[in-house]
Amino acid sequence: MTRSFIPSTLQIATFAVLLFMALPNLLILVISFNSAATLAFPPSGVSLKWYVNVFSTPSFAVGLRQSLLLAATSCVISMVLGVLASLAIVRFRFFGRQAASVFVMAPLFVPEIVMGIAMLLWANTVLFISNTTVLVVLHALIVLPYVVRLVVANLQGMDPNLESAAMLLGARPHQAFLHVTLPLLGKGLLGAAVFAIVMSFHNFTATMFLVGNRPTLPVAAYQYIRTENDPTVAALSTLMMLGGVLAVYLMEKWIGLERLVR
């Protein structure tokens, strides 16, 4: 079948849409190398100084540390909780199963701004709880539905006879899980973990209610944008984009992109 070089209207339209979506990121990329201290387009020269500046801005360093810690913690928590819950939902038939799976998805239905306020108020009602803990709870909540959805899909794709076979060969249920289910889920779990980390890392609106004086990276970036006018934040953004590309690459390797968006 010959491929004509003249793109069809559909192709042009698609390309236009994709360009529209990608343009902000592309522009940031370009501006980040600007030698002048303005955000004006076009850039006047090429320089890497803004990248250097990213690392010497204290709020970014703090932000990065906070974001990573938060992402790692909420990832671990949501993965453990999520895997256990997914096991229950997929492999067992029990009264309230349907309800449980809906409840676990609840955070998806709550607008971020509402969740921010809700958790702020919750923090006030629970005694002796530190700000960090509330943040962790918030992020675990936000990420949990995604983890459950992914792990459930993975479990459903697994042959249920494998666990039965293991049990008939003498493996107790937890042994069957350890030796058979977990290894087979392995890659899927890694992909879910990466997804969880990224979702947590980028969360802004809900997080903003609770950060106080130790902001996460997105919050720090936001504050910087509102006050300063140089391309430092563009450099930061480009670095984060690289991280995102890496994340996509890893997920493609570990789960295959199809599985993610059902």
Partner 1 sequence: MTYSLNLAKRGVVLTGLTVDLQGKRILDEVSLDIEAGEIVALLGPSGCGKTTMLRAIAGLQPTLKGEISVGGKTMSGVPPYRRNVGMVFQNYALFPHMTVADNVTFGLRMKKMPAARRDAVLTASLAMLELTNLRDAYPARLSGGQQQRVAIARTIATEPSVLLLDEPLSALDKKLREGMRAELRSLLKKVGITAIIVTHDQEEALAIADRIAVMDRGKIAQIGTGAELYHRPNSRFVADFIGYMNYFDGIAGKRANGLMDVAIGEDLSVKVPLADNILEGDRVMVGVRPEAIRVASEGRRAEQGTNAISARLVSTEFLGVVTYLRFRDVQGIERMVITSGQNEDAIGNGGPCQLQWPMQAGIVVRPERTPACQAGL
Partner 2 sequence: MRQRLVPYLLVAPSLVLIAALLMGLSSVLGWSLDDGTGNGISLAQYESLATNASYRQFFTSSLWLAGVATAVALVFGFPAAYYMETKASPRQRKLIFAALLAMFLSDYVLKMFGLVLILGRTGLVNKLLLWLGVTDEPLRLMFNEFGVLVGLISGILPYMILSLNGVIARLDKRLQEAAALLGAAPWRVFLLITLPLCVPGILAGTMLSFLLSLNSFVTPMLLGGGRVDMIAVFIFDQSINLGNLPLGSAAAGILFLISAIAILALTVAGDRFHRRFQR
Query: Binding to partner 2 by residue 1, rule CB under 8 A?
Result: no
Q: Are 34 and 48 in contact (CB under 8 A)?
A: no
Q: Are 43 and 36 in contact (CB under 8 A)?
A: yes
- SS3 label, residue 73: helix
Query: Binding to partner 2 by residue 257, rule CB under 8 A?
Result: yes
Candidate residues 68, 248, 254, 259; the one interacting with partner 2 per rule CB under 8 A: 248
Residue 39 backbone dihedrals phi, psi, to 5 degrees: -100, 10
Alpha-carbon distance 85 to 152, whole Å?
9
Strand-pair partners of 34: 46
Which residue, 88 or 239, is less far from partner 1 as judged by CB?
88
State the binding string over 63-102 for partner 1 (x if CB under 8 A, else -). Answer: ----------------------------------------
- How many positions of this chain bind partner 1 (CB under 8 A)? 18
**Choosing among partner 2, partner 1, none, which partner's interface includes residue 94 (Cβ < 5 to 8 Å by kind)?**
partner 2
Query: Binding to partner 1 by residue 184, rule CB under 8 A?
Result: yes
Q: Are 191 and 232 in contact (CB under 8 A)?
A: no
Query: Binding to partner 2 by residue 127, rule CB under 8 A?
Result: no
Q: Which of 166, 174, 170, 186 is nearest to 253 (CA)?
A: 186
Q: How far is CA 219 from CA 25, 26, 81, 194, in A?
A: 18, 22, 27, 21
Query: Binding to partner 2 by residue 114, rule CB under 8 A?
Result: yes
**Choosing among partner 1, partner 2, none, which partner's interface includes residue 169 (Cβ < 5 to 8 Å by kind)?**
partner 1
Query: Binding to partner 1 by residue 165, rule CB under 8 A?
Result: yes
Which residue, 3 or 93, is less far from partner 1 as judged by CB?
93
Which residue, 19 or 165, is less far from partner 2 as judged by CB?
19
* Close Cβ partners of 214 (under 8 Å, ≥ 6 residues apart): 62, 66
Which residue, 168 or 246, is less far from partner 1 as judged by CB?
168
Query: Binding to partner 1 by residue 178, rule CB under 8 A?
Result: no
Q: Is the peptide bond before 42 cis (omega within 30 degrees of 0)?
A: yes
Q: Which of residues 15-54 bind partner 2 (CB under 8 A)?
A: 17-18, 20-25, 27-28, 31, 38-42
Instruction: Kindly state the tokens that stand for 170.
Output: 């003498």
Candidate residues 137, 166, 189, 193; the one interacting with partner 2 per rule CB under 8 A: 137
Strand-pair partners of 46: 34
Q: Which of residues 197-216 bind partner 2 (CB under 8 A)?
A: 198, 202, 204-205, 209
Instruction: Kindly state the tokens that stand for 174.
Output: 């937890």
Q: Which of 46, 13, 48, 41 is nearest to 27 (CA)?
A: 41
Q: Which of residues 147-186 bind partner 2 (CB under 8 A)?
A: 148, 173
**Choosing among partner 1, partner 2, none, which partner's interface includes residue 170 (Cβ < 5 to 8 Å by kind)?**
partner 1
Residues near partner 1, by CB under 8 A: 159, 161-162, 164-173, 175, 179-180, 183-184
